[in-house]
Chains A and B, each alone.
Chain A
């Protein structure tokens, strides 16, 4: 799924970063790499940009760019609770 499709507080693993021009390099510098866990922290009041967290770094990206970042959502803790294991 796309980074832009995540809900606030949801975590995911970055799978691939598409063509977002020089933004890609900036993100790389900040540790936004494939395989990194990433979390959507919140979405701005007008629905764009979105705030993400990588480790302890907080960044904001626009939706148009977030659409080009493929991620894999991590099943939430709740998932286990649904299974009645905790």
Chain B
């Protein structure tokens, strides 16, 4: 006669399993003295009588409910040969708690992994071999409802009884194990497993306590109390909590090894992604890769549209407004309107495609959960300047365009961080400065073009960090919020949320920064075009430049006023330096006023717009390397060659170009973010830094080259 109780949580399918195995109706009675049903089934297995007992559902053997009590009493007091632990596999974590208690009883045992079909349907995977290896007992997947796995289960159970397959002890934390071992040593022989008895005694289980008392083991009770006291003092927790947590600890550790969550499990997927993106060595390179990709998509995708917007303003609006005003306004007024106001508006709007895309990708990164990771990756690097890791994102964006970079500082919490970051951003060499480098290096450094350009970028970074470091020392440190990051699970960005992140920045740029840009554009128009009817050599700009130029003698370009003059309109947008040089030297190729009708032009513009969109799309997905070969009129090159005494002087000029005031759009953005005072401060500071650096470069170059 082999007695095998079926133990398990409520509703795990014990009864269905017994039915399937014994192929009989259960004999239903009552447990002695209570009204809880007792179900048994008898059948013959290989000539032996086997009794299967369906124990009431229990979550634990430290009983709360009547059913649990019966189950515990049965397991503690009645004779049986082996346990079948029925587990609802879809609820593995909770079910294994009882399993651990059963393991502590150290009796032959088999696990029935019931509802295994539902479990696999959910996309989970269980490493059953590993589970068997760890527990040291067979684990059989079963589907009681379809009578699957039942034969295997009973075979395994009988074999376990015959071979006395005792489950392996799953050790808890070491200090708990110490106490258990200590109690086992002092324990008399009982029908209970010493380990189970010891744990129950430590846990102050009334049943165990009563058992010890009947055995007159007062010494044991005292020892258990001491052990409990030590644990509680050590953990500062009630004993129940200590034991419960210890068990779940074991379970979680086990599940980590044996349970494969579904592929679509977001938590797991996130962890997998993080294993790559936050990798000790690869994390930073991946960050740069993602940034580069973002840049490529932004600039390739917006380039043709930006061009279209500027062309639309220059060739179309400009032309027709000039024509319309021809008879009603003096030429200077028309010029103010078109070259001042309109070109300012054109400048603002030409930024839109670029900003739109950049903010879009930024918002996507923010929404997907990657931004928090960047802070994690770079926090330590930013700490030297007491700024957050994600401040570096702003700086990196600065290499594309300083304007969105300034807006990106909104992600930083304290004003102090934002000030330091915004002070550094203009020193990140934006893409508008590249054509100037290209033009000059093509003339003066034909052999080492790339090297020279790289060195300029590097210089910007070095100076930026120096500035950041200084301002970190000067600015009073705020009691910053403690550093704390939640790393959210990666998820697909919700487009509405992305838009909410994007729109305020775009709106701010158009409205608030836009007005500043248009104002600046008007002022600069005044400097360049006035007095009325002037030529480029006698404008206010030229006059001022002629005055100022000697100051640049120590920097190596104080001989000729033209390059100095070109820098002032260059504040509108850095690349304007080139066309200004052209204007001043008088080598500009005048746009021919082609004779065409309004209708033709409108159609042409629309066609161009369509093409721009197509190109934008195409460029996003193919890599094309911008060559640095500039098709500048060679007269400009010749002029420049004459105007700079040496390549060193030209390099010094480029250093100045790199470091002096960024464009008015950036300034407008700074005003939006930090206010007028900081904007003016930065406008004053940067030229000084630029002057200092180009003098330093030139003087050092003279001595050492």
- What residue in chain A is nearest B133 (Cβ atoms)? A86
What B residues does A59 contact at CB under 8 A? 484-487
Indicate if the CB atoms of A49 and B253 lie closer than 8 Å: no
**How many Å from the CB of A10 to the closest CB on chain B?**
11
What A residues does B380 contact at CB under 8 A? 44-49
Interface centre among A21, A41, A43, A46, by most chain B C-beta atoms within 10 angstroms, is: A46
Chain A 56-80, CB within 8 Å of chain B: the 1/0 string?
1111111001000000101111011
Indicate if the CB atoms of A60 and B484 lie closer than 8 Å: yes
What B residues does A65 contact at CB under 8 A? 482-483
Indicate if the CB atoms of A35 and B241 lie closer than 8 Å: yes
Q: Per DSSP, are chain B's interface residues mostly helix, strand or loop, or mixed?
A: helix
Comparing B213-221, B278-286, B344-352, the segment that makes contact with chain A is B278-286
What A residues does B487 contact at CB under 8 A? 51, 58-60
> Taking the complex as formed, is B168 at the interface, i.e. its CB lies under 8 A from any CB of chain A?
yes
Q: Complex Cα distance A78/B182, Å?
A: 23
> Taking the complex as formed, is A23 at the interface, i.e. its CB lies under 8 A from any CB of chain B?
yes
Indicate if the CB atoms of A75 and B376 lie closer than 8 Å: no
Indicate if the CB atoms of B381 and A46 lie closer than 8 Å: yes
Indicate if the CB atoms of A45 and B283 lie closer than 8 Å: yes
Comparing B244-252, B295-303, B322-330, the segment that makes contact with chain A is B244-252
> Taking the complex as formed, is B377 at the interface, i.e. its CB lies under 8 A from any CB of chain A?
yes
Selected from B174, B375, B481, B482, the residue in CB contact (under 8 A) with A75 is: B174
> Taking the complex as formed, is B134 at the interface, i.e. its CB lies under 8 A from any CB of chain A?
yes
What A residues does B175 contact at CB under 8 A? 72
> Taking the complex as formed, is B91 at the interface, i.e. its CB lies under 8 A from any CB of chain A?
no
> Taking the complex as formed, is B379 at the interface, i.e. its CB lies under 8 A from any CB of chain A?
yes
Indicate if the CB atoms of A62 and B483 lie closer than 8 Å: yes
With A34-B236, A48-B380, A77-B257 in contact, do A58 and B484 touch (Cβ < 8 Å)?
no
Q: Complex Cα distance A44/B173, Å?
A: 28
Chain B 209-249, CB within 8 Å of chain A: the 1/0 string?
00000000000000000000000000111000110010011
> Taking the complex as formed, is A1 at the interface, i.e. its CB lies under 8 A from any CB of chain B?
no
**How many Å from the CB of A6 to the closest CB on chain B?**
14
Count contacts on B: residues with CB < 8 A to the other chain. Answer: 47
Residues 135-170 (chain B) with a chain A CB within 8 angstroms: 136, 168-169
> Taking the complex as formed, is B267 at the interface, i.e. its CB lies under 8 A from any CB of chain A?
yes
Indicate if the CB atoms of A15 and B252 lie closer than 8 Å: no
What B residues does A62 contact at CB under 8 A? 379, 483
What A residues does B267 contact at CB under 8 A? 56
> Taking the complex as formed, is B171 at the interface, i.e. its CB lies under 8 A from any CB of chain A?
yes
What A residues does B236 contact at CB under 8 A? 15-16, 34
With A47-B380, A62-B379, A85-B168 in contact, do A13 and B173 touch (Cβ < 8 Å)?
yes
Chain B 173-196, CB within 8 Å of chain A: the 1/0 string?
111000000000000000000000
With A58-B487, A59-B485 in contact, do A49 and B249 touch (Cβ < 8 Å)?
no
Q: Complex Cα distance A13/B250, Å?
A: 12
Indicate if the CB atoms of A49 and B483 lie closer than 8 Å: yes
Indicate if the CB atoms of A11 and B283 lie closer than 8 Å: no
What A residues does B383 contact at CB under 8 A? 48
Indicate if the CB atoms of B237 and A48 lie closer than 8 Å: no
Indicate if the CB atoms of B278 and A75 lie closer than 8 Å: no
Indicate if the CB atoms of A37 and B252 lie closer than 8 Å: yes
With A11-B253, A13-B245, A44-B377 in contact, do A75 and B133 touch (Cβ < 8 Å)?
no
Contacts A27-B484, A49-B483, A58-B486 known; 10 new A-B pairs at CB < 8 A: A13-B173, A13-B249, A21-B482, A35-B235, A45-B380, A58-B489, A59-B485, A74-B249, A77-B257, A86-B168
A-B contact pairs, 29 of them (CB 8 A): A13-B235, A13-B245, A13-B249, A20-B482, A22-B481, A23-B482, A26-B484, A27-B484, A37-B252, A44-B380, A45-B281, A45-B284, A45-B377, A46-B381, A47-B380, A49-B380, A56-B489, A58-B274, A58-B489, A59-B485, A60-B372, A60-B484, A61-B483, A61-B484, A72-B175, A74-B253, A75-B173, A77-B257, A80-B171
- Chain B interface residues toward A at CB < 8 A: 133-134, 136, 168-169, 171, 173-175, 235-237, 241-242, 245, 248-249, 252-253, 257, 267, 270-271, 274, 278, 280-281, 283-284, 372, 375-381, 383, 481-489
